[in-house]
């Protein structure tokens, strides 16, 4: 299933999020991007191809597999904590930042087990340059499932965001355990691996 939304100022929730010309496209999982594959589990404070990852607050780190009530591998990335594909997990109250060496105008994120439950857990992605923010609740409005399911393709989505003003930093936050994701591509260079 593929859903596209052209963000315009005519839509109330998008007017609050900024980036009036951005486009968000969703494609259901499973997917297995290898962006963080070179990193071991429990890592933070590293650089991949000029993009520097930093834990700004709370707890966030690379992980593999699934640990109940802590983090869950996005659908297709393996549930084993030893053989799964590495991804980023931002724990409740945490914020992770990526700083790119060169300005980007688009980004694609494989967003696992989308959470959109206000008052319980709400994941969010923000681009600092123009105030663009995208939450799990926003993805539900576009057709994703927001119940945090680890096994439902509709709750594990490739989220492509294009048409953004040039930016060099982005943040990922979660109000509860946890926001699991991997970068699939940024800028115009494809970061997807087999």
43-96 pLDDT tens trace: 999 999 999 999 999 999 999 999 999 999 999 999 999 999 999 999 999 999
pLDDT, tens digit, 9 for 90 and up, residues 4-43? 333 322 232 333 355 568 999 999 999 999 999 999 999 9
Tell me the whole-structure pTM to 2 decimals. Answer: 0.85
* The pLDDT value given to residue 34: 94
Q: Which of 136, 128, 152, 50 is nearest to 90 (CA)?
A: 136
Q: Using alpha carbons, select from 21, 185, 163 the residue that is nearest to residue 98.
A: 185
Q: What is the pLDDT of residue 187?
A: 66
Strand locations in the chain (E): 2-6, 23-28, 46-48, 51-57, 60-63, 87-90, 95-104, 107-112, 116-117, 121-127, 132-135, 157-162, 167-174, 179-186, 189-190
Residue 31 in tokens: 């997917």
Tokens of 82: 């030893």
Question: What is the Cα 194 distance to its own chain's centre?
Answer: 19
Residues 94-134: tens digit of each pLDDT: 999 999 999 999 999 999 999 887 767 778 887 766 789 99
Under 8 Å between Cβ of 71 and 112: no
Which of helix, strand or coil describes residue 140?
helix
Give residue 129's pLDDT: 60
pLDDT of residue 18: 55
List pLDDT tens digits, range 126-165.
776 678 999 898 999 999 999 889 999 999 999 999 999 9
Range of the domain at 141: 2-190
Query: Do you know the residue count of the chain?
Result: 194
How many structural domains is the chain composed of?
Answer: 1
């Amino acid at each position: 299933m593929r859903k596209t939304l052209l963000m315009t100022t005519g839509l109330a929730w998008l007017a609050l999020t900024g980036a009036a010309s951005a486009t968000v496209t969703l494609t259901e999982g499973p997917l297995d991007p290898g962006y963080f594959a070179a990193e071991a589990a429990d890592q933070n404070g590293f650089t991949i191809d000029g993009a520097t990852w930093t834990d700004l607050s709370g707890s966030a780190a690379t992980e593999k597999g699934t640990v109940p009530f802590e983090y869950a591998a996005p659908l297709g990335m393996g549930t084993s904590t030893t053989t799964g594909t590495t991804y980023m997990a931002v724990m409740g109250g945490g914020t992770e930042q990526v700083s790119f060496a060169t300005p980007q105008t688009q980004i694609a994120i494989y967003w696992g087990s989308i959470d959109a439950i206000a008052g319980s857990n709400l994941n969010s992605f923000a681009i600092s340059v123009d105030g663009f923010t995208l939450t799990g609740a926003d993805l539900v409005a576009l057709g994703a499932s927001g119940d945090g399911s680890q096994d439902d393709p509709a709750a594990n989505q490739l989220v492509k965001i294009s048409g953004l003003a040039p930016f060099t930093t982005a943040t990922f936050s979660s109000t509860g355990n946890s926001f699991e994701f991997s970068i699939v591509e940024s800028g115009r260079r494809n970061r997807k691996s087999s």
